[in-house]
Structure 1
Amino acid sequence: MKKVVIEDSLGIASELEKQMQYLIDTYQCEWATVVNDPERRKWFKQFINSDDNELGIEIITQRDQNRPADWRKNPLELPIVESIEIPDEMSWVTVGKTWDFPVDAGAVVKYGDVQLAVFQSAEGDHWYACQNMCPHKRSFVLSRGILGDENGIAKIACPLHKKTFSLETGESMQQEDYSITVFDVRVVGDDVQLNLPREGKLEPTLATAPNCSAVCR
Structure 2
Amino acid sequence: MAKNANLTLAGPDLAALLCSRVCHDVISPVGAINNGLELLDEGGADSDAMDLIRTSALNASVRLKFARLAFGASGSVGASIDTGEAEKAAKDFAAAEKKTEVTWTGPRAIIPKNRVKLLLNLFLVAYGAIPRGGSLDIVLDDPENQAKFSIIAKGRMLRIPPKYQEILKGQLEEAVDAHSIQPYYTVLLADECGMDLDCVQGEGEITFTAAVA
Q: Provide the TM-score with structure 1 as the length reference.
A: 0.27
Considering only CA atoms, is the larger Rg found in Structure 1 or Structure 2? 1
Q: Provide the TM-score with structure 2 as the length reference.
A: 0.28
Greater helix content: 2
